Structure 1
């Protein structure tokens, strides 16, 4: 059996997507507006990227910076966008909402997940802002399609969260810990050996795929360096 790990790369547009696939990315996370830490891209962007690459695409479902689902009207608009993306062929997603006290906003999450028709989805780094990670995992455990947590282990990034990542990896398969751990957020190549040794086999990069900064496209060479490190 192959020991190849999954490499997910953030893509903003077709140019990013083509470069990421050329570099060896297994999957893309599609977002817009990285100044707001990644929001839902227009359906037209999804359609153009879907037509340009043949790897998996996970689409961000998020209307505003931060981890709140916003107002009822915001949630209604997001549901409308989800329906449009599903009609366009989107079948994998990324989402996550917290209440102001750091507990999961189950009502908002369930409202969005109800539109996904069982599609696979990632609960994103909102988990790193949760008041109680274990409680969040157990509260979400029965939601259909939840197969991944994108996490750095801590809000400050992988350096800060390494101990948490290793502890959660050790619990894989126990109640609330069945979804795959996808490590991202301040992730560096130097972190990979200890994470791989712990059995973690999925990694997410954004800025690391853009050595020239977010105002420049994904570098296929940078992605290829990560792909080689994870072979």
Structure 2
């Protein structure tokens, strides 16, 4: 089995997805509305991307800006629609008003996915939590959770590096079995130290678009990241 680091790229549409795969992405995170930090894409977008590429797709389950789950019934319905369309991997994460994990909302959505054995990422809501360690331990054992997308800090990777490396060193402890997927202000110069610290998964969005979010994913930019992760 390959030991190479995972490179996940944000894709908004088919063109993004095709370019990311061509550049060497291992997986895509599918979203819409980056102005709201990424919301659930239309089912039709998922279907079109699934037909265009053959790498894994993780679909965002988030209906509005922020980390509250105000419409849990609707979230469950959207998850059901995506599952019916063939989605098998997801991204989600909800906090309550006190900054703790909204375990009830998470479990309701995951219940819709767990029977199908779907895997999912808890996204950067962890970086806005009142207590990261408590959140991890509350989520320990929730079916399908295999990844935390995190910068280590709400301010981004520059500020979060010590936390990322400390959490990586705890891999295997209760609440810390999941893979750390680093994203949020991630730059190429962060990569060597993160790799050396045992982190093996990286998530890019704007870094895959040298022209900014108004431009498509650049296969060449993704290829540069692929080379850096592979030690090239």
TM-score above 0.5: yes
Distance in 2, matches of 1:34 and 1:2, equals 32
Deviation, 1:3, is: 3.6
- What whole-Å deviation, never above 9, does each CA across 1:42-61 have from its counterpart, x for those lacking one? 11000000000000000000
Q: What is aligned with 2:100?
A: 103
Q: Which runs of 4+ in 1 moved over 3 A?
A: none
- What whole-Å deviation, never above 9, does each CA across 1:136-194 have from its counterpart, x for those lacking one? 00000110000000000000000000000000000000000000000000000000011
SS for the counterpart of 1:115 is helix
Distance in 1, matches of 2:219 and 2:54, equals 16
Distance in 2, matches of 1:127 and 1:207, equals 20
Structure 1 gaps of 5+ residues are none
- What whole-Å deviation, never above 9, does each CA across 1:45-87 have from its counterpart, x for those lacking one? 00000000000000000000001011xxx21111111111000
1:1-231 matches, cutoff 5 A: 2-70=2-70, 74-116=71-113, 117=115, 118-231=117-230
Distance in 1, matches of 2:217 and 2:38, equals 15
SS for the counterpart of 1:9 is strand
RMSD across aligned C-alpha pairs, in angstroms?
0.7
Deviation, 1:2, is: 4.0
Structure 2 gaps of 5+ residues are none
SS for the counterpart of 2:112 is coil
Alignment: residue pair count = 228
